[in-house]
Structure 1
């Protein structure tokens, strides 16, 4: 309780003066249009007639703190059975919303979870270990996600080769009636959990997709639902004190400090000290895939504490820090020169629901449908086409230190590039005053995690926000905004085969070929959208070191 006897809010959203001054009109509009109460009651008309058909079957997430209440007991019973059999290692095979929420939940609850959201053969092979104590949760809403199906096939074969009955070690989470449900029941898998079909993937944190792998790993998912329930009433209120509306207006309606448009870069500080590690990665997918379409969108930029985007005072950025417990506003690691900052404080379950409500309300302010993802499928189709036709790789413009430089004339100019650093500089030369750089790396994100350290160097070098995504993981999040959002991004791919390839059982392609098709397909779609794309194709470890040096501005 507060000193005055009033109950403390479950979630607190504190904003700096620059944000408060800029969002006022939008906040008033959200209240006047009753966006909060209409969303909470399942009113599909909130986002206009064009979005109504999609929204009418995508609002189940507003009730999950109630409708998911039966799941924790089922999950706990299965976990007890598995532990009694010596099975205590949980691997999650899933992409996008199916993997990001459990990753955050398990990190916040301090329980181990192996997340396999990759097609790199080295990363897949490294997950196929300790099978005697492993259960695999295969999560796919559609049931047809090629990455997840390939991972499932790899584990089934590995279990069989180890003399373990895969049916006892595979748990499936999917939508009712999906191809995966049919296949799982025919195979007699250990358990099949059906998620709410009226919830889209990125809003599915509190469905079976988020709760089953987290609960099997040992997270307290009952507590997670309690935390969400505690903030549900606040998020449904048509009141300027509603924290979700406050956050939505800060995300989507604060004008740029230079008067040249909105502050549409949302810098999310991933601060382990806030006790919610990984929450920005989950919010990144939610915000980017929900808002990035029709030429508008909010670009989430996940950064470590003290990153250039936090300290530079970018005119088109709002910096957000999330914490489980109260962080006094105005501390040095939160404030920046422009003072466009937001601090969101509250427990994880409450923050998950808060961000979902805020993102839906931000969609209203932007005038878009926050529940579709029209440009995600384009990259998937391009990848499928390349898998079927297997064309030769695009010809390199030049090769330096064992790294092929691949780009068109529009990106590098007719002369090409004299070295890796020059190629990167040529790409950065396309950055406008409100642009951003997206680094997209198709390598083993666990084995080569140090490469992400180049992100800060690129941000300092370019003076602009830099996103860093591991492929194909990012295709299910920022990939939508790259094509459908404002056309101000420039794109740097790092691709390579640094591990021995691995066949996909029962398919005529390998994991390495699948990864290459995903990278090439995405680059092709970006070029079709007239986005500048530079691909650095790495041949070996020395080449990767050369790329790392070039990204950090230390190329020889």
Structure 2
């Protein structure tokens, strides 16, 4: 594991932070699991959240149990692995499988179109991993119910197709035992975003075909370095993150260089944003930007490159970034293991669903309509069209602020537009990008030096959602929802997926506007045409 840090004029400030940490004995204390490192208020939480430090060794105990599950799935011809999980329960397996080039279908969405897409894919050869630390995650509970019904309708016993990963004693464990599902219990002393090397990361990845033993080997190789004062990559990276934030560079631009690892910035985004974004402080990871353009930004590249880089195998990267995040929390004076603002949007969602009953959800009235796009929000009266709205949002970003784009849509829908046959790879990529709402991030990025993030809802609620509400009050928010044309019932619940998805969007929007932060909701009355129109308007700004 190697970390190359080129700091230029700010090297002295970063060195000073590192020297202070060493003088206080932090590296050895953290490696030993000292829960007092983040102060007395954080100590009770930290005392039950440091199990990730020992995972390279303790998770090996799970390998025989996981191997049995894999052998059974292979013997039964179950080669389509679906992971129902949110946040830390899905992001790490997604990276592990992408890096290992093994297929994994991740359901971290309430979009009914995306869920129907998964249900229609080889149900007769599907095994579902239902993963939830708390056992009460509403999205994951919905996915479980939907797949149970789908299996029964197909004449398949769900007990032969569903595997549960959860914490000991959770409601999900009890449900699984009653239903006869295999259960793999995770370490309860590890928080969700630090759980990459627990059962949450290993079980679905192994079922998909990834080498999880090798992952633990790589983590074990770097672990001894984390107790050292020198040659400690986690200390160097953590000091860098903390020092940059103290200097006002609190937007971490994460860039993927060509390497053997695929998609790690998405996992880092959750780890750092949810761990540090609280008490008006925090570090905002920005995925997708190519360079740090403003004075509040700095660039770290994953893989071999020039500048500041983090290079090494995936298992080691997981452990080093976790250690560095814990270090950055100490430097910033916050508890890196809690998430005090995450529950607010969830509570708003529940309230909205309960108060609406069988009636319409409180969407409000659009302030203007531009083709297939309705615009909602507290906006100046002189805005006439979508171009005016996007321009107003960009101008509303404060000096050290950011724009967050949050899309409650099917993140795989753009693949439907990809041309197959005689088209070149470049042509297919261009066609796909022109149908992908995520392209909006890059289009708007060209028009401002401020950081712009993009998140799929409700996935981001388990990631950057904490930073949006608990971090610096510098965010401007653009939410995108879309009409549902083929909804999915949630068995045993009084709502459909589409209704839940819209309630989640409205609930989070309420949490943001209650803080007086600029927020706009765009609703696509036709998803395909709406995305095409939105991107074309952004291109012409």
Do the two structures share a fold, i.e. TM-score over 0.5?
Answer: yes
Q: Could you say what secondary structure the match of 2:5 adopts?
A: strand
Q: 5 Å matches for 1:396-411? A: 396-408=366-378
Asked if the contact 1:457/1:553 (under 8 Å) is kept, the reply is no
Measured in 2, the distance between the counterparts of 1:202 and 1:83 equals 29
Among 107, 120, 123, the residue aligned to 2:114: 123
Among 252, 263, 277, the residue aligned to 1:266: 252
Asked if the contact 1:119/1:511 (under 8 Å) is kept, the reply is yes
Q: Which residue of 2 aligns with 1:38?
A: 29
Asked if the contact 2:82/2:129 (under 8 Å) is kept, the reply is yes
Over residues 257-312 of structure 1, what are the superposed CA-to-partner deviations in whole Å (9 max), with x where a residue is unaligned? xxxx51100000134x22211100000000000000000000000015xx3xx0x5
Deviates more, 1:346-355 or 1:21-30: 21-30
Measured in 2, the distance between the counterparts of 1:69 and 1:177 equals 22
Q: 5 Å matches for 1:90-489? A: 90-128=81-119, 129-189=121-181, 191-237=182-228, 239-254=229-244, 261-271=247-257, 273-303=258-288, 307=290, 310=291, 313-323=293-303, 327-329=304-306, 341-390=307-356, 391-408=361-378, 412-413=379-380, 415-448=381-414, 450-489=436-475
Q: Could you say what secondary structure the match of 2:413 adopts?
A: coil
Measured in 1, the distance between the counterparts of 2:283 and 2:230 equals 22
Measured in 2, the distance between the counterparts of 1:71 and 1:458 equals 45
Q: How far apart are residue 73 of structure 1 and its match?
A: 2.1
Q: Which residue of 2 aligns with 1:17?
A: 8
Q: Which residue of 2 aligns with 1:337?
A: none
Measured in 2, the distance between the counterparts of 1:532 and 1:269 equals 28
Asked if the contact 1:22/1:255 (under 8 Å) is kept, the reply is no
Asked if the contact 1:172/1:181 (under 8 Å) is kept, the reply is yes
Q: Could you say what secondary structure the match of 2:490 adopts?
A: coil
Asked if the contact 2:484/2:498 (under 8 Å) is kept, the reply is no
Q: Which residue of 1 aligns with 2:428?
A: none
Q: How far apart are residue 240 of structure 1 and its match?
A: 4.0
Measured in 2, the distance between the counterparts of 1:213 and 1:511 equals 24
Change (3 A) 1:344 1:510: same
Measured in 2, the distance between the counterparts of 1:255 and 1:148 equals 34
Aligned residues: 515
Q: Which residue of 2 aligns with 1:501?
A: 487
Measured in 2, the distance between the counterparts of 1:527 and 1:313 equals 28
Q: Could you say what secondary structure the match of 1:434 adopts?
A: coil
Asked if the contact 2:245/2:283 (under 8 Å) is kept, the reply is no
Q: How far apart are residue 64 of structure 1 and its match?
A: 0.4
Q: Could you say what secondary structure the match of 1:469 adopts?
A: strand
Change (3 A) 1:33 1:194: same
Asked if the contact 2:407/2:479 (under 8 Å) is kept, the reply is yes
Among 506, 514, 529, the residue aligned to 2:515: 529
Give the TM-score of the pair, scaled to structure 1: 0.90
Give the TM-score of the pair, scaled to structure 2: 0.93
- Do structure 1's residue 510 and structure 2's residue 510 form an aligned pair? no
Deviates more, 1:366-375 or 1:81-90: 81-90
Q: Which residue of 1 aligns with 2:537?
A: 550
Q: How far apart are residue 499 of structure 1 and its match?
A: 3.7
Q: How far apart are residue 254 of structure 1 and its match?
A: 2.4
Q: 5+ residue gaps in structure 1? A: 1-9, 330-340
Measured in 1, the distance between the counterparts of 2:348 and 2:382 equals 26
Over residues 9-62 of structure 1, what are the superposed CA-to-partner deviations in whole Å (9 max), with x where a residue is unaligned? x33333342453331111111111222221221211000011011001000000
Change (3 A) 1:255 1:109: closer
Change (3 A) 1:416 1:213: farther
Change (3 A) 1:389 1:266: same
Q: How far apart are residue 497 of structure 1 and its match?
A: 2.0
Q: Which residue of 2 aligns with 1:6?
A: none
Measured in 1, the distance between the counterparts of 2:305 and 2:522 equals 43
